[in-house]
Structure 1
Amino acid sequence: MIIGYTTGVYDMFHIGHLNLLKRAKEKCDYLIVGVSTDECCESYKHKRPVIPYEQRAAIVAAIKFVDEVVPQENMNKLAFLKQRHFDVMFHGDEWKGTELYNHYEEEFLKFGARIEYFSHTDGISSSLLRTIINK
């Protein structure tokens, strides 16, 4: 059984989010999705999500591709792997080749896990939606 893991804020849920979850589920048997808490989001994005954590988690949990939702309370992916084993983490390819994710790739191997990168859905993002709404 292949256990997959991915994370996100999933604010203003859109087709890009759905595409990511669908693609991830196609590559694993059991998909765990970490939804960033409001506090976690504020700590690294310096803004509060439009939709509160409890509602975002409920939306993600209702998606048929998702087997389990967990709160993402910090951005340390290695700490989560140590706490809860998974075989593959799915992530946006904008991080591929960065110092942080090269380090994660090396450390994950020690736990028998790997990272698979996906490209984003063109033309849609929560940031873009936020910009349109604020016009």
Structure 2
Amino acid sequence: MTCRVGFTCGAFDLLHAGHIVMLREAKNNCDYLIVGLQTDPTIDRQEKNSPIQSVYERYIQLRGVKYIDEIIPYDTEQSLLDLLEATEIHLRFVGEDYVDREFTGKGLHEVFYTSRQHSFSTTQLRNRVNENSSNR
């Protein structure tokens, strides 16, 4: 029996319930889940938010997630593409909001679009923290 290797990636800043739901769905559809951890999305995409947490903090948090088998940090979209080309991956997990959009490495692997049937997001969490802080 062949081990199905899955891959997903992101900055995973302010790890929240939505991340966990997505990682659980990914792991339920593969035998071995690799997570690419982007060090800072603003390096080559200025429209993105800079992470609040260090890559070290985010790495430690991801290590505690039982659905993840391996974590590989990467810097740029080019280093992500290099990683995707060099790693034996059977299934790439991408959020369903990317169904009709381009993304790095599209076409390299079979794609599984993960569900966004929840209201959790990093932006929502940031806003809640900011609102809570300003109400003090």
* TM exceeding 0.5: yes
Q: Pairwise CA RMSD of aligned residues?
A: 1.9
* Residue ranges of structure 1 left out of the alignment (5+ in a row): none
* Residue ranges of structure 2 left out of the alignment (5+ in a row): 132-136
State how far apart, in whole Å, the 2-side matches of 1:28 and 1:36 are.
Answer: 21
- Greater fraction of residues in helix: 1
Higher-Rg structure is: 2
Paired residues of 1:19 and 1:121 also in contact (CA < 8 A): no
2:84 paired residue number: 81
Q: Structure 1 residues 80, 30: CA separation in 2 closer, same or farther (over 3 Å shift)?
A: same
2:73 paired residue number: 71
2:111 paired residue number: 115
State how far apart, in whole Å, the 2-side matches of 1:3 and 1:89 are.
Answer: 9
What is the TM-score normalised by the length of structure 2? Answer: 0.83
CA displacement 1:33-87 (0-9 Å, x = unmatched):
01110xx322224432111111101111111110000102122454322121211
2:127 paired residue number: 131
State the 4+ residue runs in structure 1 displaced beyond 6 angstroms: none
Q: Structure 1 residues 23, 46: CA separation in 2 closer, same or farther (over 3 Å shift)?
A: closer
Is 1:93 paired with 2:96? Answer: yes
What is the TM-score normalised by the length of structure 1? Answer: 0.83
